[in-house]
């Protein structure tokens, strides 16, 4: 890691299939940021078990996400790509930070309320404690910036609050992280209901385009995408949510600006527009899928990437945890 660079941290859960929203809002941005920052990219399997998982599927999805990261262009030589549970300091720091976090703060977290409603039969402490573990994730690496979508803002804010609270009780120990918001494609919406964020756990899978979808499936989903009764292809999220969502997706997958995207479809119909967006997405995803499959066939290589990533992450995490233990009075050898 380069001491002259700031540190960036991000984590993605290996649950369900990732969508193009995850690609645009997270992975694609990682590619642009990995040369500018010291990057830690975690596969957040500890967060994943707040909801019951099939163990075999969780293991396979962990490998699949690792392979996907590399297939998309993340460099395991210059960044730390690792599995969260392979660095025990995450759980250890979480316990300490629990003593600097108030129950009322956790009960007010939007994600806790949402997940409690969806999983009423399993409202466990992990669901409530999720933001504290996320704060531990971030603070362990003396993180400067956390790339997030607008819906994750609350988690960065609570991490900042916990860091400042700890620093005020003792001496400055943690860097107070900043959220890094991506302007274009920060929120990609459901194709069938553009008032909602595209989700990898949506009830109707036809509204979400998954990174594992084949070309025919991608084209079919875009052909069914909701637009409106107008015929104008113009970016106007308030009045033309469906069309604006498709323009954002097209812009993200072609590298063109919204204005350039609008110009591409001036005078054209919605049918041609939706087909072109679908093809732009498929053209990008098909080679990524092929490379991911190739990597998954080489489990020995993926294991070596996980091991080196964990060693790199553990080195930094342990330095922070040792400082914390000293500050709070834990006796250490």
Catalytic residue numbers read 115, 197, 200
Q: What are phi and psi of 294, to 5 degrees?
A: -65, -45
Cα gap 29→258, rounded to integer Å: 17
CB half-sphere exposure, 112, CA atoms < 13 A:
18
Cα gap 103→107, rounded to integer Å: 6
Q: Tell me if 136 sits within 8 A of 128, measured CB to CB.
A: no
Rg, C-alpha atoms of the chain = 21
Measure the CA angle with vertex 182, ends 281 and 247; round to 5°.
40
CB half-sphere exposure, 219, CA atoms < 13 A:
10
Most distant CA pair in the chain, distance? 73
Q: Encode 10-28: b = buried (16+ Cβ within 10 Å), e = exposed.
A: bbbbbbbbbbbbbbbbbbb
Residue matched to tokens 């990533």: 309
Q: Tell me if 83 sits within 8 A of 306, measured CB to CB.
A: yes
Secondary structure (3-state) at 19? strand
Element (H, E) at 77: none
Q: Which residue from 316, 333, 321, 317 is spatially nearest to 95, judged by alpha carbons?
A: 321
């Amino acid at each position: 890691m380069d001491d002259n660079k700031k540190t960036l941290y991000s984590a993605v859960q290996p649950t369900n299939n990732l969508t193009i929203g995850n690609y645009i809002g997270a992975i694609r941005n990682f590619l642009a940021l990995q040369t500018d920052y010291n990057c830690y990219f975690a596969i957040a399997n500890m967060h994943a078990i707040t909801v019951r998982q099939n163990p075999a599927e969780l293991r396979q999805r962990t490998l699949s996400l690792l392979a996907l990261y590399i297939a998309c262009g993340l460099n395991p030589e210059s960044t730390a790509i690792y599995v969260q549970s392979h660095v025990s300091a995450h759980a250890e720091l979480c316990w300490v930070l629990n003593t600097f976090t108030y129950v009322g703060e956790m009960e007010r977290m939007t994600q806790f309320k949402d997940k409690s409603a969806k999983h009423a039969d399993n409202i466990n402490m992990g669901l409530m404690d999720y933001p504290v573990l996320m704060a531990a994730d971030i603070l362990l690496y003396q993180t400067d910036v956390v790339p997030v979508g607008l819906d994750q803002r609350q988690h960065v804010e609570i991490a900042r609050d916990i860091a400042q609270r700890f620093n005020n009780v003792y001496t400055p120990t943690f860097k107070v992280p900043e959220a890094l918001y991506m302007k274009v494609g920060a929120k990609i919406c459901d194709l069938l209901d553009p008032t909602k964020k595209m989700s990898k756990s949506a009830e109707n899978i036809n509204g979400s385009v998954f990174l594992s979808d084949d070309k025919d499936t991608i084209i079919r989903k875009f052909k069914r995408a909701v637009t409106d009764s107008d015929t104008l292809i113009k970016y106007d999220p308030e009045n033309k949510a469906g069309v604006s969502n498709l323009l954002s997706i097209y812009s993200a997958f072609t590298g063109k600006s919204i204005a350039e995207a609008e110009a591409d479809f001036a005078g054209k119909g919605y049918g041609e527009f939706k087909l072109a967006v679908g093809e732009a997405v498929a053209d990008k995803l098909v080679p990524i899928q092929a490379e991911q499959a190739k990597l998954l066939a080489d489990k020995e290589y993926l294991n070596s990437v996980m091991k080196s990533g964990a060693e790199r992450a553990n080195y930094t995490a342990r330095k922070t945890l040792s400082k914390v233990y000293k500050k709070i009075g834990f006796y250490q050898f």
